């Protein structure tokens, strides 16, 4: 499977938002992604397969620490290593861009994502009670230091 990981561009934000709508109860909009594509402190990436955007991810540089805000793969392309490729690319670029420790929040019940992050050395360090809505759920705060 020839998947290309590359920087997200303005032309990709619509496709990224469509995947978000398919997957999340509170999806990011195309405008949300566009703001990140244009921000000099944010790094967003897409996975492209045969010309189609099949996943995306992004990280913000908050005074030298990385905050991962999105990691998503289109349901029909899962379990083929695409998220791994996205994370690997994003974390290498983050390091090259001077980002040190990285953090993220994830629903406590979201085992696929938690396993993915653990595979990259992230560890749960705390819980934010009731962080998520629709449905209400705690967030696990993970760090890679
Ligand atoms: C989490 C998600 C991004 C994984 O994408 P993916 O492309 O299927 O993941 P990969 O095939 O690259 O798998 C990488 C690792 O993640 C973990 N993983 C992925 N799916 C899993 C599942 N269903 N159950 C358990 N572990 C899983 C495994 O550790 C896997 O490594 P392995 O294949 O060596 O076992 C995808 O399931 C998704 O988009 N989920 C909905 C969005 C979401 O919850 N994003 C995170 C928000 S914080």
Question: Relative to the CA of 75, which ligand 1 atom is closest?
Answer: 39
Q: What is the pLDDT of residue 1?
A: 83
Helix axes 30-38, 13-23, angle to 10 degrees: 130
Q: Where in the chain is the domain with CATH 3.40.630.30?
A: 1-100
What is the total residue count of the chain?
Answer: 145
If you classify domain 1-100 with CATH, what class do you get? alpha beta
Q: Is 52 known to be catalytic?
A: no
Q: What is the pLDDT of residue 141?
A: 98
Residue ID of nearest Cα to ligand 1 atom 34: 81
Q: Is 125 known to be catalytic?
A: no
Centroid of ligand 1 to alpha carbon of 61 (angstroms): 24
CA distance 114 to 120: 10
> Please, what's the b/e burial string for 26-39 (b: 16 or more CB within 10 A of its CB; e: otherwise)?
ebbebebbbebbee
76-104 pLDDT per residue, tens: 999 999 999 999 999 999 999 999 999 99
CA distance 25 to 135: 8
Region 119-136: mean pLDDT is 97
Q: Are 122 and 143 in contact (CB under 8 A)?
A: yes
CA torsion sign for 125, 35, 87, 66 is negative
Q: Are 45 and 5 in contact (CB under 8 A)?
A: yes
4-47 pLDDT per residue, tens: 999 999 999 999 999 999 999 999 999 999 999 999 999 999 99
Tell me if 1 CB under 6 Å of ligand 1: no
Global confidence as pTM: 0.98
């Amino acid at each position: 499977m020839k998947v290309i990981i590359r920087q997200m561009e303005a032309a990709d934000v619509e496709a990224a938002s469509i995947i978000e709508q398919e997957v999340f109860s509170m999806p990011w909009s195309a405008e949300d992604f566009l703001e990140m594509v244009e921000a000099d402190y944010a790094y967003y990436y897409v996975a492209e397969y045969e010309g189609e955007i099949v996943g995306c991810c992004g990280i913000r540089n908050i005074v030298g620490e990385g905050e991962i805000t999105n990691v998503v793969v289109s349901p029909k392309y899962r379990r083929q290593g695409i998220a791994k490729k996205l994370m690997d690319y994003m974390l290498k670029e983050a390091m090259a861009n001077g980002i040190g420790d990285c953090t993220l929040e994830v629903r406590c019940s979201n085992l696929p994502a938690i396993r993915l992050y653990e595979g990259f050395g992230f560890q749960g360090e705390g819980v934010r009670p009731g962080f998520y809505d629709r449905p209400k759920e705690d967030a696990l705060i993970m760090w890679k230091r």
